[in-house]
Amino acid sequence: MVIGVDTGFFIELTKDNSEAVNIWNKILSGDEELAVSVISLNELSVYFYRTGNIQKKDKLIDLIKSIPNIELVPVST
């Protein structure tokens, strides 16, 4: 199944929200797929810049880009 998520999912993941962690583990195990807009990557960058945690931003965005069952959806009308 493909699960669509937005920026809030990744923010909750960094806060160790149990629901987000459960979904994330399913993604990492290959049981589920994620669809996420590329806009969320920009919003994550802004979030981490504002919280002063640039290293966490780089790690998370690189991880998102590297997982094969995460589809980054381009913006279109």
How much is the pLDDT for 65? Answer: 94
pLDDT at 43 over 90: yes
Model pLDDT for residues 45-54, shown as the tens digit of each residue:
999 999 988 8
Separation in Å, CA 3 to CA 6, 16, 19, 51, 55: 10, 19, 13, 27, 26
Place of tokens 């797929």: 33
